[in-house]
């Protein structure tokens, strides 16, 4: 996948996309990432990208000319042009899965009070918000989208970094997980997880995922599980009809 980002703050992208999984995705060519400074598409010697809102009001707006010039020079046949702004539809795991099917994205990040409306109306294919809060600019939202989408690209996550069965994959929050030691500071691991009985483990996990979702995110229970979402743990085993060889904790 190719992701281009149009920003006034290219320096903000140094770091978060240069480590770990995203770094490896770039090194292996699974992710092609390119930053572009909006000021490179300004025509005046002050490299002006903003101006006052018609009708008055606080702050400044991003002018249409540099944005249209930049997007029209960067956009290819298959590019999906996405504005990042608090006014967009909510970015979530389902949208991340959707975007991971694309071949190339152009993320247009905001600043000041936002975009001239004609950018939204005539230039963007989509508009996404990472949450109901106001940030200083769209750089962090762009990095959030890049991270969430890149880890879903084929081959980006190694076996031990599976995206299978994780939060939101079945529309539920993730069930509690434990690793060794089986007892820590008087806190034992739930017996069922040490039982080796995979059906019981799957049942417990599903129940825990529901309980946690009901407690923390009841809104998720109203939603239809995302299409193509991973089947619930026990359904997958029944489908597979075999007991996955769950790793045996060393005290068994």
Terminal Cα-to-Cα distance of the chain (whole angstroms): 45
Nearer to ligand 4FV (CB atom), residue 5 or residue 209 = 5
Using rule CB under 6 A, residue 14 touches ligand 4FV = no
Q: Which is nearer to ligand 4FV, 131 or 188 (CB)?
A: 131
Residues in the chain, how many? 252
DSSP 79-100: EEEEEEEEEEEEP-HHHHHHHT
**Pair 112, 67: CB distance under 8 Å:** no
Q: Pick from 153, 182, 193: which is nearest to 251 by CA?
A: 182
The site that binds ligand 4FV (CB under 6 A) totals a number of residues, namely: 16
Tokens of 31: 């992710």
Q: Is 86 in the site for ligand 4FV (CB under 6 A)?
A: yes
Interaction mask 92-121, ligand 4FV, x per CB under 6 A = ------------------xxx-x-------
Least gap, CB of 138 to ligand 4FV (angstroms): 5
Within 8 A by CB and 6+ apart from 18, the residues are none
User: Which residues in 118-177 contact ligand 4FV (CB under 6 A)?
Assistant: 129-131, 133-135, 137-138, 141
The token pair at 98 is 């959707």
Closest CB to ligand 4FV belongs to which residue?
Answer: 110
User: Maximum Cα–Cα distance for the chain, whole Å?
Assistant: 73
Which residue number, 140 or 182, has a Cβ lying nearer to ligand 4FV?
140
Q: What is the DSSP letter of 225?
A: P
Q: Cβ distance 138 to 111 under 8 Å?
A: yes
Q: Which is nearer to ligand 4FV, 20 or 136 (CB)?
A: 136
| Radius of gyration, CA atoms only, the chain | 23
- Is the Cβ of residue 54 or residue 133 nearer to ligand 4FV in the bound state? 133
Using an 8 Å Cβ cutoff, are 252 and 194 in contact? Answer: yes
User: Given the complex with ligand 4FV, which of 86 and 196 has the nearer CB atom?
Assistant: 86
Q: How far is the CB of 105 from ligand 4FV (least distance, A)?
A: 14
Question: What's the rounded Cα separation, in Å, for the pair 194 and 214?
Answer: 26
> Which span sits near ligand 4FV by CB under 6 A: 3-11, 79-87, 155-163, 204-212?
79-87
CB of 74 to ligand 4FV, least distance (A): 19
Query: Which C-beta is closer to ligand 4FV: that of 3 or that of 193?
Result: 3
Is residue 7 a contact point for ligand 4FV (CB under 6 A)? no
Please name every residue paired with 51 in a beta bridge, in sequence order, or none if there are none: 61
CA dist., res. 191 & res. 126, Å (int)? 48
Q: Whole-number minimum distance, CB 135 to ligand 4FV, in Å?
A: 4
Q: Which residues bind ligand 4FV (CB under 6 A)?
A: 84-86, 110-112, 114, 129-131, 133-135, 137-138, 141
């Amino acid at each position: 996948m190719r992701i281009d980002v149009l920003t006034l703050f290219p320096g903000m992208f140094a770091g978060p996309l240069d480590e770990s999984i995203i770094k490896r995705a770039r090194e292996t060519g699974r992710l092609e990432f390119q930053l572009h400074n909006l000021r490179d598409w300004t025509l005046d010697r002050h490299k002006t990208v903003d101006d006052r809102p018609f009708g008055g009001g606080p702050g400044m707006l991003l002018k249409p000319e540099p944005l249209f010039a930049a997007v029209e020079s960067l956009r290819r046949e298959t590019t999906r042009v996405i504005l990042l702004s608090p006014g967009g539809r909510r970015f979530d795991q389902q949208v991340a899965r959707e975007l991971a099917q694309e071949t190339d994205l152009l993320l247009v990040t905001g600043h000041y009070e936002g975009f001239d409306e004609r950018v939204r109306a005539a230039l963007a294919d989509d508009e996404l918000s990472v949450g109901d809060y106001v940030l200083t600019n769209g750089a962090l939202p762009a990095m959030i989208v890049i991270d969430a989408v890149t880890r879903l690209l084929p081959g980006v996550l190694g076996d031990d970094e599976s995206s299978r069965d994780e939060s939101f994959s079945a529309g539920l929050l993730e069930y509690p997980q434990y690793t060794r030691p089986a007892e820590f500071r008087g806190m034992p691991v739930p017996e069922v997880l040490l039982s080796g009985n995979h059906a019981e483990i799957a049942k417990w996990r599903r129940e825990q995922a529901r309980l946690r979702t009901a407690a923390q995110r009841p809104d998720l229970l109203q939603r239809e599980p995302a299409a193509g979402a991973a089947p619930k743990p026990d359904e997958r085993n029944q489908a597979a009809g075999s007991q996955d060889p769950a790793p045996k904790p060393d005290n068994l």
